[in-house]
Amino acid sequence: MSRELSLAEIFQLGYYWETKILLTAAKLDLFSALDGKPKTAREVAERIGAHEPTLSLLLNALVAMKLLAKEGEQYGNSSVADKHLVRRSPHYIGHLLLLHDAEWNNWGKLEETIRTGNRSVDRHVFETDPELGGNVLAVLDRIGRQSGPELAKRLQLMGPLRMLDLGGGAGTNAIAFCQVCPELTATVFDLPATLRVTEKTVKEAGLDSRIALRSGNFNRDSLGGPYDLVLMSDILHYQTDESNEVLVGKVFAHLAPGGRLVIKDRFLDEAGTGPAWTTAFAVHILVNTQEGGCYRTGDAIRWMAKAGFASIVELEKTAVVQGVKNRDA
Ligand SMILES: C[S@@+](CC[C@H](N)C(=O)[O-])C[C@H]1O[C@@H](n2cnc3c(N)ncnc32)[C@H](O)[C@@H]1O
């Protein structure tokens, strides 16, 4: 049994003022306005189109939060803000904060959703604002580079495999798999708006001769193939159980005999109370998607068994499940 929370920790859990101050500063692109030399509140207000006395309150709070520094009447970015919150920086992660801000009003409807069971959104922000979605994927690609190579090594891939990275986003995994396995070639299948980002990341990685892009909706369009390996990484939590079952069956048909499907996702444990981050993510999916959900590895095993996969194993607890298509299937 873990230790009891203290009262101070309960207060901390319920406290979101600083969160919204940071998200609003990112929305106002305030850190980019402070790029270069320090400025007074009046100068910043003129740049971003804001009411100076009100803006000063926000700027002072950001100083106390150590994102800005103040000397006399002038405000400047801290070095971490300069590196990660100024748009021109190659390390800019503000798109992720803009996504959280775009989802803010959905969270405000959580009580209603819990009372009625009805979802408050009819489309995910990736569909309503594909440009923001693409930019977020580019940020996730940059900060998530280490997990792809680890997965590729764990799968012990060898030889000239044909891989499909389904809903592959910025191509993070396809790129990592190509880098770990010199003979592997990959296809990244995704929506056309996303593939604009993928094209850039694949080119930057120097892998355009080994990674093809295939545009479409994986629920409606042919996936091409046949493939020796299909990866579904972080795509199934946006969909219903029924759609996932159908999609896994579709993938089975696009695999060569002996090929394998690897599903990597944020699965809940059997009790539904862990991993801790995933329990909160399940609520996030509830308020921000029309029909998504966090599943258990048992669900993925059931989808695979129904499709006809054999040798189905949970390779990493609450994270990775693999099924193999029999050679005579
Ligand atoms: C959370 S991202 C995961 C990206 C990547 N697989 C990864 O693990 O980094 C979900 C991806 O699924 C794509 N996607 C969602 N619905 C899709 C659909 N119906 N057809 C094709 N791609 C889709 C999105 O465009 C996005 O790139």
Identify the residue whose C-alpha is closest to ligand 1 atom 10: 235
Ligand 1 centroid distance, CA of 179 (Å) = 21
What DSSP line would sit under 184-201, residue for residue? -EEEEEE-HHHHHHHHHH
Question: What tens digit of pLDDT does each residue of 47-74 get?
Answer: 999 999 999 999 999 999 999 999 999 9
**Whether residue 130 has pLDDT greater than 90:** no
Amino acid 131: pLDDT? 84
Rounded-to-integer distance, Cα 318 and Cα 297, Å? 6
Amino acid 25: pLDDT? 98
Rounded-to-integer distance, Cα 133 and Cα 98, Å? 10
**Whether residue 329 has pLDDT greater than 80:** no
Rounded-to-integer distance, Cα 87 and Cα 48, Å? 14
Dihedral sign of CA atoms 191, 193, 196, 201 in order: negative
Q: Can the peptide bond before residue 275 be classed as cis, meaning omega within 30 degrees of 0? A: yes
Residue 121 is classified by DSSP as: -
Amino acid 1: pLDDT? 57
Rg of the chain over all Cα atoms, to the nearest angstrom: 23
**Closest of 208, 222, 95 to residue 166, by C-alpha:** 222
Ligand 1 centroid distance, CA of 78 (Å) = 34
User: 7-87 and 130-324: same fold?
Assistant: no
Please state the pTM of the whole predicted model: 0.93
Question: What tens digit of pLDDT does each residue of 92-102 get?
Answer: 999 999 999 99
Ligand 1 site, CB within 6 A? 126, 137, 167-169, 172-173, 190-191, 194, 217-219, 233-235, 238
**Whether residue 211 has pLDDT greater than 90:** yes
Q: Half-sphere exposure (CA, 13 Å, Cβ side) for 212?
A: 13
Rounded-to-integer distance, Cα 68 and Cα 138, Å? 26
Average pLDDT, the chain: 95
Ligand 1 centroid distance, CA of 290 (Å) = 15
Dihedral sign of CA atoms 263, 269, 270, 272 in order: negative
**Whether residue 125 has pLDDT greater than 80:** no
- φ, ψ dihedrals at 25, nearest 5°: -65, -40
Ligand 1 centroid distance, CA of 184 (Å) = 21
For the CA of 221, the closest atom of ligand 1 is: 20
Question: What tens digit of pLDDT does each residue of 5-19 get?
Answer: 999 999 999 999 999
CATH code assigned to 7-87 = 1.10.10.10
Amino acid 160: pLDDT? 96
Residue 2 is classified by DSSP as: P
Question: How do the domains of the chain map onto residue ranges?
Answer: 7-87, 130-324
**Whether residue 124 has pLDDT greater than 80:** no
Average pLDDT over residues 1-8: 86
What are the percentages of helix, strand and coil residues in the chain, rounded to 5?
50, 15, 35
For the CA of 231, the closest atom of ligand 1 is: 6
Q: For a substitution probing ligand 1, which of 165, 235, 244 has the most ligand atoms within 8 Å of its CB?
A: 235
Ligand 1 centroid distance, CA of 235 (Å) = 5
Give percent of the chain with pLDDT exceeding 70.
Answer: 100
**Whether residue 128 has pLDDT greater than 90:** no
**Whether residue 77 has pLDDT greater than 60:** yes
CATH topology of domain 130-324: Rossmann fold (3.40.50)
**Closest of 136, 154, 60, 54 to residue 95, by C-alpha:** 136
Q: Half-sphere exposure (CA, 13 Å, Cβ side) for 65?
A: 19
State the pLDDT confidence band at 306, using cuts at 50, 70 and 90: very high
Rounded-to-integer distance, Cα 156 and Cα 159, Å? 10
Rounded-to-integer distance, Cα 247 and Cα 307, Å? 9
**Closest of 278, 290, 274 to residue 238, by C-alpha:** 290
- Reading the block at residue 191, the tokens are 């929506």
Question: If 0-12 CB within 10 Å is exposed, 13-18 middle and 19+ buried, where does residue 195 land?
Answer: buried
Give percent of the chain with pLDDT exceeding 90.
Answer: 90
Rounded-to-integer distance, Cα 30 and Cα 50, Å? 10
Rounded-to-integer distance, Cα 21 and Cα 46, Å? 19
